[in-house]
Amino acid sequence: MTRFLGALRALVSIAVASVSLIAAAQVPAPPEIAARSYLLMDVTANQILAQKDIDSPVEPASLTKLMSAYVVFDALRARKITLTQTLPVSPRAWKMPGSRMFIDPKMQVPVEDLIKGLIVQSGNDATVALAEGVGGTVEHFVEMMNAQAKALGMKSTTYKNPEGLTAPGHTTTARDLSILATRLVRDFPEEAKYYAIKKYRYPGTPSTNDTNRNLLLFRDPTVDGLKTGHTEAAGYGMVATAKRDFPNLSGGRRLLSVVLGTTGETVRANESQKLLNWGYTAYDAVRLFDGGQPAATPAVWKGKANELKLGRPDAIVVAVPAGSASKIKTQVSRPDPLVAPFTKYQPVGSLKVTLDDQPVADVPLVALEGVEQAGVFGRAWDAVRLWIK
């Protein structure tokens, strides 16, 4: 079981880390985007479709709350807290400046309402109340945020607080935000529903403070998240995600845009919408193999089975410029010989995808089934056969 879980964790990590760019010669020109940096990712295909300065350090502002929510959702999954559990509102939470849920120390607020306050109203007070409830102290919660960032592979991110107010050294990048947002949607599909809520307010708080700042939720029915942010230093930023029906893709096709450093609330929404629309029209998503379908079945030596099924538990999908699907070529790259044992979901080689002889994607393959080591006689016989080979 330990080996299985280890392989499964490696699979998730490799899947997210295996983002690849379509070769420069094949990239359709993206639209002009009025932002300091931006990124468009096809989440379904695990590919970056467009980018600008995605590794430049930026202030995340309230986009910080994506990580705060991730840590809270993780605590829910581990049953350290529950949605119906109530948390106190400390004076520190109550006095937080900036965006607020408008809760006070007289209240005991359910965790689910605090989550809605964090996401819909971007409440700094709700964020601190959750941080104290999950981490014991804000400072320990920030340590948890940074540890999680490191675990997700966010190499250029450092958090100094859970809410996103300007602080020295509190920075991230568009690339890191795309990693976080992708994992948030994949790791917590049920909890991600909170990001699609258009209006919410806690009883007894101002009725005028009830509207999600993500304008795309009100414009585009396929947009279901995620978060906006703004400070004077950061400008206006948005991480937006949409899921649209697409031919031959059950469950739809998800794109994610990160737009940072725009000049206004409407501008960030317009530029995010522009990127999303362009991605859906400029690129086709092509399903190469179904989830669980072998991409290759090479021979195995010294095992109880004679072959190893290599593939992915989820569908293998690639994004290519519109109309070019017929030119795709694939090649499996793997160790040779393959010698048992292999555990289920153990990484074994990759599927290299090219278009007009240019690299499109390098998709990690895993063992779809485990192969146990053969007995002494079987191993000895295969050792002879390998020596002759």
Which positions are catalytic? 62, 65, 122
Residue 222, classed as helix, strand or coil, is: coil
Rounded to 5 degrees, what angle do the CA atoms 132, 133, 139 make?
A: 25
- With b for 16 or more beta-carbon neighbours within 10 A and e for fewer, the 337-350 pattern comes to ebbbbbbbbbbbbb
- What is the DSSP code string of 291-353? TT--SB--B-BSBSSSB--EE-SS-EEEEEETT-GGGEEEEEE--SS-BS-B-TT-EEEEEEE
**Can you tell me whether residue 197 is helix, strand or coil?**
coil
- In whole angstroms, what is the distance from residue 138 CA to residue 140 CA? 6
Residue 205: which of 130, 302, 116 has the closest Cα? 116
To which residue do tokens 């994607």 refer?
A: 361
Pairing of the two strands 223-231 and 235-246: antiparallel
Burial tier of 208 (Cβ tally within 10 Å: 0-12, 13-18, 19+): exposed
Q: Are 286 and 317 in contact (CB under 8 A)?
A: yes
Query: Half-sphere exposure of residue 208, counting CA atoms within 13 Å on the CB side?
Result: 1
Please tell me whether residue 98 adopts helix, strand or coil conformation. coil
At residue 89, what is the residue type? V
Write the CB contacts of 296 (distance below 8 Å, at least 6 apart in sequence): 310, 311, 332, 334, 365
Task: Provide the token pair at 225.
Answer: 């998240």
Helices (H) and strands (E) in the chain, counts: 10, 14
Q: Cα-flanking dihedrals φ and ψ of residue 169, to 5°?
A: 85, 0
Q: Which two tokens stand for residue 71?
A: 């840590």
H/E stretch holding 111 reads helix 111-119
